[in-house]
Structure 1
Amino acid sequence: MRKFIRFTAVAACSFFSGPIVMAADCPDRQATSQLAGAMIVAGFFGTKTSDPGFQRILSDLERGLIGGVLILGRNIGNRQDLDQMTRQISACKCRSTPFVAVDEEGGTIQRLGRNVGLEETPSASKIAQESVASARKTYGSLAQKLSSLHFNMNLGPVVDLDRNPNNPVIGRLHRSFGSDATTVATYAATFIWEHRKQRIITVLKHFPGHGSSSVDSHDGVADVTHSWSSDELKPFKRLIDLGLADAIMVGHLANTTKWGGVATQSGAHAIDGLLRAELRYEGVVMTDDLAMRAVTNNRNSASAAAIEAIKAGADVVIVSRLNDDDQAADVGSNINEAITSAACSNEIGVAALKRSAKRVDRLKALWLRPHRRENR
């Protein structure tokens, strides 16, 4: 009887994922799915709690299919609706506190300004022209704003060095604190400390350095083989050494001589080689949005990109959408199923999922308030 039960469990996993011989690491598909869920931050379409997209993302959270939600400009209608959504996410019937993430750097990259009746934040380049004391006040206000709206993760600061003024995604948009590593690290540290006062996790980006690129990774691969310098690692190293790297976001950056192909995809060694081995970083590594055309196109789906990112060493994958056309797709469920199936077929080791889930749990335990479920 025991042999029959064991065979049935393995065969069931194999039915969904591949040959029986490959399924030894997936005796419990549900447990594997929960591990994968801790590693997914998903986006959705909708601006109200009654919208189908929001209902799906909340359901995915409560089923453990994802571990966090990304709020984008497309999700923000008015302050009241936003407050209701983030409040429900924060109080979800979840195993642990979910990440409630936003990309709120200031300048051109901010979602929460006059559109919701709040003060706007200047760009990084403008803030770096003022004193550190002034920056402390500005970022203190920013962190308080995010806290009042129930956000617990800000996808910033940018610690890229401003090495190319014509860079379409960093230099032209004034997202960098400057071209000097010390200046960048100093102002980034101020950003981080003010967020920590509100128990908001920050995310250094875009490792290993997006500042010298001439291509926006939203549109295609940013190949920095001939422009990147090891100096671009200095702000990351400084902040890691100071214990200020809560999490680090890896960009869709290629460098054939230094780390290989796109840093967020398997075959590249930006994460295991540069970040883990050289800089000795042991915390959470996140991807930039895997919906970007640098990794998702007609030949490669967001689900495939997520699997490749985990193979490359990422602990958390961010996926804002599956494609440009399908706003009704269940992003979290799709990405979770892909990762779970890859683990059940041994394409991804379950041990790797466990390591990443442990890092995520440790980060949440360190900074996020104890989770309180809401009875709805």
Structure 2
Amino acid sequence: MAMDCRNEAATSRLVGSMIIAGFFGTKPSDPGFQQILADLEGGLIGGIIILGRNVGARQDLEEMIKRISECKCTTIPFIAIDDEGGSVERIGKNIGFDETPSAAAVAGGSIRSARNTYGLLARKLSSLHFNTNLAPVVDLNSNPSNPIIGQRQRSYGNDADTVVTYATAFIVEHRRKRILTVLKHFPGHGSSTTDSHAGVADVTSTWSPAELKPFKRLIAAGLADAIMVGHLANSNRWGNIATQNGAHAIDRLLRRELRYDGVIMTDDLAMKATLDAKQPSAAAVAAVKAGADLIIFTRLSDEDQTSDVGREINRALTAAACSQEIRANALQRSAARVRELKSRWTQHHRERHH
């Protein structure tokens, strides 16, 4: 089935629902914020991600998120943050909130204490109108000296039971506040010896099938709202970078072997792992061709703080859909999965705002 590009606007809206973009700015008056709000309202993107670089004064942050949650958008946007606790926490003492301990610290305590910790985290995010938390990390801590997972205390442990138990507490507490969670980093980042922010993490010689267990069990328990795929390569099991076409982490491992039919998102495509090899627009197209339903892009390059990320990436995906490089039925399936995921909190949102 070919995409009818006589209606390019409809195609642009369809791919727009599959893009979560970052921006530069800490205040509602900043040009980067004005731009991303316009992109949301124009249907060029379907959500935003708040990073450390966007957190200035609490009042400014609250006002920006309020404007996004009340935007004149056709669907409620993803308002996302990655707040795992520990070394990956954007909102803590810096703006007058409590800190959340790291996954490793939480796993050192009781489940009851974990529920309490994550109940507080979910309440904090909910009070700021976030509706998506890009966490928990369900990577096994199979290499404690791993610079991005083990050394930063981001894993609950090196066995699936521990990881699943504490990740469940995280997810359940967020669901109470209608906040979507995202399991990461499929197919498993815990054994890597490198950081995918700095380059491709090749886990060919270190990865083991045991790393799929937490994902498999949480999917089976109905606890996978969405799953984030990392920029991980394994020439034996899925090929090159998992978020790029030609690799089979998504279509074979996650869809077929683990029978997951929910939303699959990429880790930030602005990381060195993908951008060293490709132009931003090409990396986005390759991710959708690999099977991603949602792509995260926080900036187009390290130096560039002014470009319109949403518009650029939307344009690239729309062109690829119109030239049939991306199959229309794949796009429609992805957009439908995203709609279904958003519908989980749409009703709640309407009740809260009317």
TM-score (norm. length: structure 2): 0.97
Over 3 Å counting, the alpha-carbon distance change for 1:84 and 1:225 in structure 2 is same
Q: C-alpha separation between the residues in 2 aligned to 1:25 and 1:62? A: 23
Residues 277-323 of structure 1, C-alpha deviation per residue, up to 9 Å, x if partnerless? Answer: 000000000000000000002x5122111100000000000000000
Cross-structure match for 1:359:
337
Q: C-alpha separation between the residues in 1 aligned to 2:107 and 2:263? A: 27
Residues 51-91 of structure 1, C-alpha deviation per residue, up to 9 Å, x if partnerless? Answer: 00000000000000000000000000011000000010111
Over 3 Å counting, the alpha-carbon distance change for 1:23 and 1:282 in structure 2 is closer
Q: C-alpha separation between the residues in 1 aligned to 2:288 and 2:114? A: 36
Q: Percent identity?
A: 64
Cross-structure match for 2:308:
330
Cross-structure match for 2:111:
132
Deviation at 1:25, TM superposition (A): 3.7
Over 3 Å counting, the alpha-carbon distance change for 1:337 and 1:26 in structure 2 is same
Residue type at the aligned position of 1:316: L
Cross-structure match for 2:49:
70
Deviation at 1:365, TM superposition (A): 0.4
Give matches, 1:227-306, under 5 Å: 227-297=206-276, 299-306=277-284
Any stretches of 5+ residues in structure 1 without a counterpart? 1-21
Aligned residue for 1:295, secondary structure, equals helix
List structure 1 runs of 4+ shifted beyond 6 angstroms. Answer: none
Cross-structure match for 1:53:
32
Deviation at 1:39, TM superposition (A): 0.2
Over 3 Å counting, the alpha-carbon distance change for 1:340 and 1:126 in structure 2 is same
Deviation at 1:371, TM superposition (A): 5.1
Q: 1:346 aligns with which of 300, 303, 324?
A: 324
Q: 1:145 aligned to 2:117?
A: no
- The question of whether the paired residues in 1 share the 8 Å contact of 2:3 and 2:328 is answered with no
Number of paired residues? 352
- The question of whether the paired residues in 2 share the 8 Å contact of 1:90 and 1:150 is answered with yes
Aligned residue for 1:59, secondary structure, equals helix
Residue type at the aligned position of 1:171: G
Q: 2:99 aligns with which of 99, 107, 120?
A: 120
Q: C-alpha separation between the residues in 2 aligned to 1:84 and 1:162? A: 38
Residue type at the aligned position of 1:250: V
Residues 245-265 of structure 1, C-alpha deviation per residue, up to 9 Å, x if partnerless? Answer: 000000000000001110000
Cross-structure match for 1:87:
66
Residue type at the aligned position of 1:364: K
Deviation at 1:27, TM superposition (A): 2.6
- The question of whether the paired residues in 2 share the 8 Å contact of 1:91 and 1:371 is answered with no
Residue type at the aligned position of 2:324: N
TM-score (norm. length: structure 1): 0.92
- The question of whether the paired residues in 2 share the 8 Å contact of 1:177 and 1:187 is answered with yes
